[in-house]
Every structure is written in structure tokens, then in C-alpha cells.
Chain A
């Protein structure tokens, strides 16, 4: 299975400031079609996960443009340009290159 590792585990943030989460995979997530299959999900308190970014850098429908994803191969980053209070929760990266799908352990974003 592909192992996904996120950092940091916990991220205190100030509203209006930028934030960044890293994710690393144990093998490249680049497929032969040129697409790199890395997703980002946010699980807000008491809710189901929701997709933010798919295939490394594509914002899902309805996701604010303050969220952006980047990276290649095995190293990926989720950036929030200006954190809002509603962004608190646990962020997960997930590889969708192969099955079984595997998730990072999560990064808990909380307001300072």
C-alpha cells in the first residue's frame, strides 16, 4: 500500500493569515496519462469529509479560491491564502493512484 505522511499534525492559525500543509507519498502518484492523483479533504467538526482538491491542483466544485494545491511526484502542499474561521477542522491528503486508497493521518487546523 502507498503510505501517506502529513505534516504538521497540528497547525494553529490566525484568521487572515496564510497556512500550509504538507503531504508526502511513499511512491510517485504520477500516472501514465500525466495526471498526479493526490486529493485533499477537509473534515469539519462533527461532519463528513469533503473534497477540496483533486488530482493535485484542481479545486472541487464550490471550493473557495483561497484553497490551492500543488506538488508533483511524492511531495504535495495545500495552501490557504487567508484562513477563515470556517476553515477549522482536520485536513487529509489521499492518494487516488491505486487501490487501496490511502489517507494521511490528518492535520488539525485550529484558531490560535
Chain B
């Protein structure tokens, strides 16, 4: 059974960097999936932050692109989110998720974001 275990601080100071990690078990981050980050705040609902492929290729939400970095650590089978220069508007529940794909080339198929981390509430406050 695939599981995503999130870790990171629940409190970040304004102008600081939010750093979260998502450890993958039951699957390899070197497989053909994308590994994603999504956040949820009362004011904006569910917001897609970005994703990373096993090659290290990334895709970010343009609204956050200047402040976001998503990275892989294949040795630890985990991926991470860094969000710089945070403000109160970045206060949210953050989730990691697997965007499941199967096959390759023309046979590659998408199966939704099928596994999610438990979520971490991050508050930006001094």
C-alpha cells in the first residue's frame, strides 16, 4: 500500500521559508508518476502548487513560481517543497500527492491524484 508521510514545521515567520517533506513508502519516486503539492486555505479553496517528475522536471503554478522550489531526494525516496518569502496569505493546510500514471509513450495513461499525504497545517505568523 502506497503511503505519503509529510513532515515539517507548523509555524513559519513572515518573510521566512516554508519547508515540507513528503516521504514515499510502497512506491518509488523513480517510477513514471508525478509528485505533487496542493494547499487548502479557507479563502482560496484547493490550490495546486506544482509537481515534479522522476527526472527532476518540474511544473509550477505561475502564481507561486517565483517563490517555489520542488525537489527530489531519490536516496531517501522523498520529495520536498520550499516556499520562500511567505506571508499570512500562505497560511494553509499543505498536502503532497501522487499523480498516478501508467504506461509510456502513446500508451501512457493518467489516473488522478490517487494517494495523498495526511496534510500539515502551516501558519505564517511572528
Contact = CB atoms under 8 A, between A and B. Distances in A.
A26 interface: no
Contacts of A99: 48, 51, 59, 61
Give chain A's interface secondary structure class. loop
Given A100-B48, A101-B48, A105-B45, A54 B111 contact: yes
Nearest to A48: B116
A96 B112 contact: yes
Interface in B64-104: 95, 97
Interface in A1-55: 35, 37, 39, 41, 48-51, 53-55
Chain A CB count within 10 A is highest, among B51, B59, B63, B116, for B116
Contact of A103 (B48, B95, B110, B111): B48
Interface size range of chain A in the complex: 20 to 34
A49 B116 contact: yes
Interface size range of chain B in the complex: 20 to 34
A85 interface: no
Contacts of A54: 110-112
A48 B110 contact: no
A106 B45 contact: yes
B63 A51 contact: no
A87 B16 CA distance: 39
Interface string A76-112: 0000000000000000101010011111011000000
A106 B41 CA distance: 13
Interface of B: 38, 45-48, 51, 59, 61-63, 95, 97, 110-114, 116-119
Given A60-B114, A101-B48, 18 more contacts: A48-B95, A48-B116, A49-B113, A50-B116, A51-B111, A51-B112, A51-B113, A53-B112, A54-B110, A55-B112, A92-B46, A94-B46, A96-B110, A99-B59, A100-B48, A103-B47, A103-B48, A105-B45
Interface of A: 35, 37, 39, 41, 48-51, 53-55, 58, 60-61, 92, 94, 96, 99-103, 105-106
